[in-house]
Structure 1
């Protein structure tokens, strides 16, 4: 099972994987740690991620971005209208969803937001699989905290179309908080006051503030608020508006009237903003922006702060709202963590620091990768094959949800609505709803405060029909129980329905021990336990439930899945065809050039006669002409066939060259083996000589030791001989 986390941002996506007792960020095919969230369409195939970015300027009308901002939206949504200024493709409505119209494979085609997101997730899956060298099917995916039920379902549907299983759809700041807290070993215990941390994420298009409480092994989000129109691109827009006016006056051009000019200036402005985050001033230059005109300019940091002053007036609004949700004050916060690319803007940092009364802001997390790392940690927690420190995650409900139903004829004073999940309730969460009915009935779930939803989204969540309801045996109401659950993804469903009956059962009454009971037991008398009759609800059976929600129907999801599979096959065939074309082109030039090169330069000149050379060159020339004329859009099979023709024509020359090369290789190998054998013999001889030398030295040492012993024992024998001679002479004298 793969342990992958994805930060699915408006501008870029970051992929992280848990491995080697840590988390690594996956690099894409061009070694970048972030992949552009773009999907492009061409005459033959799609361009995903980096490929779409490299062709964005030349293929603007067929390149779709802002994928996460389009999820679950409708064409009439004012947020979508505002998004059009950042898109160059025409938006349409298809299958009840927002989508885009592009020219693909030579004809106009329409794709829904679900399909577009699925295409990008396929690219993510391929990138992660290439890095891990194993199939990637499971991941944890981030989304903005303000996402509604319909938007979350759109992401989940897209993942299913892409063949990916989402283990959890986690809010971005919640993922950031998890990545911060799971590695901390000094968190307070359950009995102590929790550590409160404010996580402020200012990304490309979103600004979210969350207040988190940490205890050992526990993360609890207590307040979250967002601004959907405050981010790095809004700073860029203010700078672009400034230079647009300057260049209008100076060069009489309007960069907003030309999509390509707008995109090129946007890229230059983003670089300018990044330079100004670390420097007092910076230049901007864009060559041939439009009408063959070069433009340039200069901006100081003070001027930038004046341009974004209207934005900075809203810099603390999400923080204030999040603190209000958590019922806390700025002085109650222990630390403030800033993440997101736009959090590097000095004026924004100052505004946030002033709000927290000079509290030191913390940047311990990687601003661009914190969300992806948190997602990878969450995936590791959910994975059965990965061992992680126990850490529970509790999020909060962002928008209150209510259920409504039709009044029962038998209960005229019945309430017909109930707010089941209030704002700030724990997430995931389960509630049991009880109904007294004699016939099947329907419920509708919707957001209780439509004005709090992003844009003008439909507050409707779903309609649930409860079947199999009928009067009981006495003709009374059936007691129906429905289990409503907001799951890990923040998606609402009625997961289960069942009915119960009131039954009288006897249960023992706990009695206090007294002296009399002790005496009875001492006398061996067993006292009968006292019981009482109580009414309890006993589950008797299940109730079938049919649901209608914003999720795709199974038929439409299967249709999208099959279409995505066919497009993947086409993309693969186009890539393989291009490879075969390049292979043929490379061999044409290589063989032709090597015909006149000497063998020492890896050439064929010594192995081909003049006649063969002319024949091969003629073949190369004819294939080259075909390649750049009729063969420009040939099939893979045609390129393979032409390649075989070329190799066949030059086969005899290449064979001689290879035979010579093989003979040299065999000779080199034989020589190397002979040298190795000789070296082994020399080493053996040396080892034998060394052994004989060691044996001789050992024998000499033993002989020397023996002589020393003999020399040491000789004086004693001489003394004995002298003593014996003295005794003999005394005897003769006597």
Structure 2
């Protein structure tokens, strides 16, 4: 009897892909239009609900009722600062519903209706499920689904909930970078005995980076990312550039007309893609707005200038995974590119320069690789003999911790801990006859809990009434293979299992209070950025001056380059942490070979990238 068909799904911010392992190979499933990827969008058009290609066809005339970018909405609270920033760029309306969750308001069948992000995501997943059933000519009930590696607990759970609404049982939720590594390992067929790879996945809306060690086991060493950085952000910069050009040239503000703005966005998207192959491209839109026939040109140089800070920001997760994995750049054997935005020449240039000119591996299909890996993982889960020896070990995407009572995060499970995992903490009762205990759980890397994400308030109830301090409560924090957190509790000395219920009800704030709180958080983050940048500046300055003294016996051009570093610091007093990091790494890469012999003779351990 053949194993059941379990499909692999990659629901991206801008594009989705579905694949299946069949007849001994991975088969990417095309949609009715024959395309192997499908636009990630859902539209409400008159009396119809459309998903994929049909939704994209009508977006120009119906932008207010076409929902895009669900990966940036799902599983988030409405007061999330990043969500608030994204909402400003959407033509559709996002409103607040119960429990502080966002809902999308659209016009459907002449009525105004609200839908949860999970429901809309379910419609997209159902579309992919239907494509698979048509292709396989049989029902599909099970799937492996990818998520960005930096998705938090709420976002992962929301993806599972969406899949259930679409009629799918989720066998496994897997980080996109892990699936790309699986695809790479199986496509290459012959690998060295051992290999360390860095997977760099830059898509339409998210960036995921991971380091994996490949031999008989696919072991994730560390992962990082940014769930609000991708091709859509680069596209926004081009759109804003032309919006300003139209204001200056024609004295018109097209942001007041959603259909005109959407037409401009579509043309800018085509231009952005073309700039990966051409040095400049023309943008032509007849009757754009109030009689304007818009015509302009954008060059690759302009595009790179508009997005310079965002492009450099894509290197931050690379730095972080090297630090978390405690590895240097030299220990990385291959840098694997995944995601459509990795086709941008400047992205490739920055990444190659970061790794001291290392060639980048472009062997995987940028849009299909993750679905390909998901299909292999799905086959493995459905007991295909071909994959019986494949073992994948993943890691937690974010640190899990509790509030210490003073607003400080006390980590329980550190980021990049191997999963599944369980860690226990013991608590004493603090009152006589105490019957319940509330544990507030957070996830994130900031030392202040309020700057992290609240997983929930876990209420432990059913504690036996006893004098203060005589009862111990052992709480077990469990992260499963999907990266989902659960908490169980046991009472000692009785050994009774206690009831644990979860709520996610932070203190309700008025609109004014939310605004004040967000401003406070913004100021704290700016101060943290300033301190980190200052620390990096001091490190950079010390390296430059130390190298200058050390290199006194070397040719004058080495000293000249050290002086350039110091001059750059003097001329860039307000530089950001990421800019200093980039300069810091560039300086080390340039001077590495020249200082190696001096480092050994002086007995100093050079300022290693991995430290």
Give the equivalent residue in structure 2 for 1:487. Answer: 480
Give the equivalent residue in structure 1 for 2:148. Answer: 144
Quote the Cα distance in structure 2 between the aligned partners of 1:476 and 1:283.
Answer: 74
Unaligned runs of 5+ in 1: 407-415, 502-539, 552-734
Query: What is the Cα-based RMSD across aligned positions, in Å?
Result: 2.9
SS in 2 for 1:361: coil
> Cα distance, 1:62 vs. partner?
1.4
CA contact (8 A) 2:443 2:455 kept: no
CA contact (8 A) 2:489 2:500 kept: no
Give the equivalent residue in structure 2 for 1:52. Answer: 55
CA contact (8 A) 1:94 1:111 kept: no
CA contact (8 A) 1:205 1:228 kept: yes
Larger RCO: 1 or 2 (CA < 8 Å, sep 6+): 2
Unaligned runs of 5+ in 2: 506-611
CA contact (8 A) 1:469 1:543 kept: no
Give the equivalent residue in structure 2 for 1:651. Answer: none
Give the equivalent residue in structure 2 for 1:357. Answer: 356
Give the equivalent residue in structure 1 for 2:589. Answer: none
> Cα distance, 1:199 vs. partner?
0.7
Inter-CA distance 305–316: structure 2 relative to 1 (3 Å threshold): same
CA contact (8 A) 2:424 2:474 kept: yes
When normalised by structure 1's length, the TM-score is 0.63
Quote the Cα distance in structure 1 between the aligned partners of 2:447 and 2:71.
Answer: 19
Give the equivalent residue in structure 2 for 1:41. Answer: 44
Give the equivalent residue in structure 2 for 1:263. Answer: 262
Mapping of residues 311-330 of structure 1, within 5 Å = 311-330=310-329
Q: Does 1:420 align with 2:412?
A: yes
What's the CA shift string for 1:600-636, capped at 9, x where partnerless? Answer: xxxxxxxxxxxxxxxxxxxxxxxxxxxxxxxxxxxxx
SS in 2 for 1:6: strand
CA contact (8 A) 1:401 1:445 kept: no
Give the equivalent residue in structure 2 for 1:285. Answer: 284
CA contact (8 A) 1:153 1:550 kept: no
SS in 2 for 1:279: coil
Quote the Cα distance in structure 2 between the aligned partners of 1:253 and 1:295.
Answer: 12
Q: Does 1:111 align with 2:100?
A: no
Quote the Cα distance in structure 1 between the aligned partners of 2:355 and 2:343.
Answer: 17
Mapping of residues 119-138 of structure 1, within 5 Å = 119-138=123-142
SS in 2 for 1:459: strand
2:157 counterpart (153, 158, 166):
153
> Cα distance, 1:186 vs. partner?
4.4
How many pairs does the alignment contain?
A: 496
Quote the Cα distance in structure 1 between the aligned partners of 2:113 and 2:314.
Answer: 41
Give the equivalent residue in structure 2 for 1:620. Answer: none
Quote the Cα distance in structure 2 between the aligned partners of 1:550 and 1:399.
Answer: 18
Quote the Cα distance in structure 1 between the aligned partners of 2:312 and 2:333.
Answer: 25
Quote the Cα distance in structure 2 between the aligned partners of 1:454 and 1:43.
Answer: 45
2:70 counterpart (61, 67, 71):
67
Mapping of residues 306-345 of structure 1, within 5 Å = 306-345=305-344
Quote the Cα distance in structure 1 between the aligned partners of 2:266 and 2:448.
Answer: 32
Q: Does 1:546 align with 2:549?
A: no
Give the equivalent residue in structure 2 for 1:459. Answer: 454
What's the CA shift string for 1:199-240, capped at 9, x where partnerless? Answer: 111111222221111121x11222222234432122222222
Give the equivalent residue in structure 2 for 1:25. Answer: 28
* Mean CA deviation greater in 451-460 or 230-239: 451-460
1:430 counterpart (396, 416, 422):
422
What's the CA shift string for 1:375-397, capped at 9, x where partnerless? Answer: 11111111146641422222222
Mapping of residues 395-406 of structure 1, within 5 Å = 395-403=394-402
> Cα distance, 1:187 vs. partner?
4.5
> Cα distance, 1:269 vs. partner?
1.4
Inter-CA distance 168–549: structure 2 relative to 1 (3 Å threshold): farther
Mapping of residues 670-689 of structure 1, within 5 Å = none
Quote the Cα distance in structure 2 between the aligned partners of 1:120 and 1:302.
Answer: 36
SS in 2 for 1:86: coil
SS in 1 for 2:164: helix
> Cα distance, 1:402 vs. partner?
2.1
When normalised by structure 2's length, the TM-score is 0.75
> Cα distance, 1:142 vs. partner?
1.2
CA contact (8 A) 1:94 1:110 kept: no
> Cα distance, 1:244 vs. partner?
2.7
Inter-CA distance 95–133: structure 2 relative to 1 (3 Å threshold): farther
Quote the Cα distance in structure 1 between the aligned partners of 2:306 and 2:239.
Answer: 10
Quote the Cα distance in structure 2 between the aligned partners of 1:183 and 1:273.
Answer: 30
Which protein has the larger Cα radius of gyration, Structure 1 or Structure 2? 1
Give the equivalent residue in structure 2 for 1:206. Answer: 206
Quote the Cα distance in structure 2 between the aligned partners of 1:490 and 1:452.
Answer: 22
